[in-house]
Structure 1
Amino acid sequence: MDQFFKFWVMIVLFNQLKFRVELVFLVFLNLRAKRLADGSTDFKYFVEASTKIRMFWTA
């Protein structure tokens, strides 16, 4: 029973991690599209992306 519980927790954590990675990727693509649309610099874009990703991982 204990082993099963550990296994289940691992699956749940893995799914949450996968979800977060997918969300980060979507944010990344969204920012990239926005950057191409308004023609802002690469540096500004990377700062914005890293800030959003950092906020997301700490949430």
Structure 2
Amino acid sequence: MILNTFCVVKHERAIENFVHIFPKVALTEDVKVGEFTDIGNCSNVIQGIIIGKMQ
């Protein structure tokens, strides 16, 4: 996982392998990010969202 500058990652989240989180991204509670996923600059992901394929 690559976690860039000024990112906010809240509690109760799952981040798989090979994930790239770009600068100024905010992941709220209960977010799941699957393998080989990129989340672009300044993205805000609201609670309960699943991005990518989870194992």
Determine which structure has more spread, i.e. the larger CA radius of gyration: 1
TM-score, normalising length from structure 2?
0.20
Larger relative contact order (CA 8 Å, sep ≥ 6): 1
TM-score, normalising length from structure 1?
0.19
